[in-house]
């Protein structure tokens, strides 16, 4: 982990309420792995806590993050222009465990999709065959469809049926049996919980989200699971079964 002032290279809208921000780092990007996150300060000092945002893409010494407007903080973030400097610490948390030469099922839900992009690239480089399910609320919220299509077989689901399969990722998986060796997922808690139940005993790595303060294990604000794991330092990626399973 390092603390740096990151320079906004660009900050653009890519879907409904969804923005992509490219940040130039000094050394931070060189430590980044798929599934890790950064904790980023807002320019408004009254908003004290840094915002934890997952790394979507690692591009040389740049990091690309993708965020959805969900409150005052992210609303302000969407106004930051090219050349703005933002204090950040990172990369934080553990990344995804990467398998090789396997059949991987990648399931993303909503704003949980971005960290799966860098993951999928790395998985493909390691000789894995990818089946990718991307679940969105509607057509307007879809992100990175073309990028994922170049990496594997992609299925899109939308809650309102405006694109692809009508329903959510779990409904799709219940209707379509998919054989795989390893599961990867990031998305809403309910999606991850249902995946843990449906695929209990399988190899899988799931990235969880939590209301967080420090991001570095100091405050124990973001705990999850029976054993009160810190999502920030023990996660955000947990082995399937750790948070909602028996083991």
Least distance (Å) between residue 73 CB and another protein: 8
**Which residues contribute to the site for another protein (CB under 8 A)?**
1, 3, 41, 45-50, 87, 89, 210-214, 216-224, 228, 233
Q: Which is nearer to another protein, 171 or 189 (CB)?
A: 189
Least distance (Å) between residue 41 CB and another protein: 8
Least distance (Å) between residue 2 CB and another protein: 10
Least distance (Å) between residue 210 CB and another protein: 7
CB atoms within 10 A of CB 84: 16
Query: Cβ(11)–Cβ(80) under 8 Å?
Result: yes
Name the maximum alpha-carbon separation found in the chain: 50
CB atoms within 10 A of CB 145: 16
Q: Which is nearer to another protein, 20 or 209 (CB)?
A: 209
Q: Which is nearer to another protein, 194 or 224 (CB)?
A: 224
Interatomic CA distance for residues 7 and 75, integer angstroms: 18
Q: Which is nearer to another protein, 144 or 208 (CB)?
A: 208
- Residue 23 phi/psi, 5-degree rounding, is -125, 130
Interatomic CA distance for residues 178 and 90, integer angstroms: 36
């Amino acid at each position: 982990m390092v603390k740096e002032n990151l320079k906004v290279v660009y900050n653009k809208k890519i879907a409904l309420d969804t923005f992509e921000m490219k940040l130039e780092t000094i050394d931070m990007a060189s430590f980044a792995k798929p599934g890790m996150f950064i904790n980023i300060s807002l320019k408004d000092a009254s908003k004290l806590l840094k915002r934890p945002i997952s790394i979507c893409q690692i591009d040389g010494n740049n990091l690309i993050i993708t965020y959805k407007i969900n409150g005052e903080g992210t609303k302000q973030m969407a106004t930051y222009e090219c050349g703005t400097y933002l204090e950040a610490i990172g990369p934080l948390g553990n990344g995804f465990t990467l398998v090789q030469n396997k059949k991987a099922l990648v399931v993303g839900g909503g704003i949980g999709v971005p960290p799966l992009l860098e993951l999928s690239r790395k998985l493909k480089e390691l000789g894995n065959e990818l089946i990718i399910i991307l679940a969105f609320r509607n057509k307007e919220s879809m992100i990175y469809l073309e990028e994922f299509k170049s990496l594997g077989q992609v299925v899109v689901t939308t809650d309102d049926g405006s694109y692809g399969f009508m329903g959510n990722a779990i409904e799709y998986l219940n209707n379509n049996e998919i054989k795989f060796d390893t599961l990867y997922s990031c998305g809403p808690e309910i999606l991850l919980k249902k995946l843990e139940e449906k695929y209990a005993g399988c190899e899988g790595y799931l990235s969880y989200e939590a209301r967080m303060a420090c991001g570095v294990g100091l405050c124990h604000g973001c705990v999850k699971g029976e054993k009160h794991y810190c999502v920030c330092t023990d996660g955000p990626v947990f082995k399937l079964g750790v948070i909602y399973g028996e083991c």
